[in-house]
Amino acid sequence: MGTSKPLQANSGFTVVELIIVIIILGIIGLSASSRFIGASSFSAPVAQEQAISIIRQIQLASMHSNYDVTTPEDQCRQLDVTLNRLGRPAGCGDADTFSDVLISDDLKGATFSVTNGPIPASIRFDLLGRPINSVETARVCNNEPTDPITSACRITMTAATGGESASVCINNEGFIYACN
């Protein structure tokens, strides 16, 4: 008598398993596409991170050099905030190791304001990274613990359309952070 082979089970997915996978992929696709549909060109968290990066670049460049306010190269190591610009002063090209302002799409069209300060505003950083004003070595960015609104230099970016805004603060000791 001969030996018979046992029947092998078909390997594959059942209809129920396929339907469940398709439903899960559909849910993931809908949630991912909703993030892109109707998104404005101004994203507050992204703009905040971009501004923090720009300010930290300028701060680090100032910390790594002995600067003199009167030389043009050292004037490029200050943060200028105007109504429509955040970064190094205009005319500061690639004279330094870091690039120019690099306004991304997230900051284009935004308007900038400084809480309790004038526009345009200029902030320099000393060798310890602490903010000082542009003409003297007087410390700026008041650090009064009793007044949280004026306890830091606050730079607010507002979208041209929609009014979405984000703020970046610099405290008296030079810590740059996202603030609300």
| 56: helix, strand or coil | helix
Is a pLDDT exceeding 60 seen at residue 58?
yes
In the block, residue with structure tokens 């910390």: 63
| 80: helix, strand or coil | strand
* pLDDT value for 23: 96
* pLDDT value for 5: 65
Confidence class for position 99, pLDDT limits 50, 70, 90: very low
Distance in angstroms (rounded) separating the CA atoms of residues 170 and 166: 14
DSSP code per residue over 106-168: TTTT-EEEETTS-SSEEEEE-TTS-EEESSS--B-S---TT-TTTSSEEEEEE-SSS--EEEE
44-179: what fold? Answer: minor pseudopilin epsh fold (3.55.40)
Task: Please provide the average confidence, as pLDDT, over all residues in the chain.
Answer: 74
Tell me the pLDDT tens digit for each residue of 112-162: 877 766 677 788 888 888 888 766 666 677 655 445 444 458 888 887 777
Is a pLDDT exceeding 60 seen at residue 102?
no
With beta carbons less than 8 A apart as the criterion, state whether 156 and 112 touch.
Answer: yes
**pTM confidence score:** 0.64
